Amino acid sequence: MFTAADFLTIALLVGLEALLSADNAMVLAVLVLGLPKHQRHKALRYGIAGAFVFRAIATLLAVYLIRLRLVKLVGAGYLLYLAYRHFLGAKDAQSRRAPPKALPWMGLTALWATVVKVELTDLVFAIDSILVAVAMSPKLWVILSGGILGIIMMRLVIGRLMSLVERYPPLVDAAFIIIAWVAVKLLVEFLHVEGYIAFEFPRWLSLGLIVVIFVTAFLYARTQERR
């Protein structure tokens, strides 16, 4: 039975997905940017298609997601590693600001290795949005509709982010600062949920800091471009 409340809930879920996926979109954009241009959209297409499947399965198994808290800890460690490798592994600022090159991984080609990383990264970030969706509506079709539309919106955002990061090299540094911040946020969330600390970052602070970092880097890059 379709009701006006169902469609309102879907609209709210799409909005929440957009807010919750701001950091996700930045991480995925950086992962895909390391591929040759002709493979980037293919990796995103495969990755997003897989995300639809994983989100649907995860929604059906939402009751068990609460037990996957360790995923956030693993995700935080991986993102911290990416930021560490970016800032301390480069020889100079010019090479650091070049998009990170995608490499083969565990016998997979660079393309499929990137697709797998996109899938795993999306899984880390999907837990929060799925649990929020389940809390907002008991109807499976409402939850899935909101999630699917949210993923489509995220795909559009990632495409725009890739274009900006490629055009303005300083945004690469900003992207990895955001990745480091997201890693810290995931670690704090894990420690908070496990009861080790009472503190947690408010959602508005997390999103606001991402916006400030990105806008500051963008304005700096525009200033450098005019010189």
Domain chopping of the chain, boundaries:
4-226
What is the pTM assigned to this prediction?
0.68
Q: What is the pLDDT of residue 134?
A: 66
Name the maximum alpha-carbon separation found in the chain: 60
**H helices, E strands: number in the chain:** 10, 0
pLDDT above 90 covers a percentage of the chain that reads 0
**Which residues have C-beta within 8 Å of that of residue 174, sequence separation ≥ 6?**
213, 214, 216, 217, 218
In tens, the pLDDT along 171-219 reads: 878 888 888 888 888 888 889 888 889 888 887 787 788 888 888 988 8
pLDDT recorded at residue 40: 82
CB atoms < 10 A from the CB of 143, how many? 25
CA-CA distance, 162 to 218, in Å (whole number)?
Answer: 13
The rounded mean pLDDT for the chain is 75
What are the start-end ranges of the H helices in 137-197? Answer: 140-167, 170-193
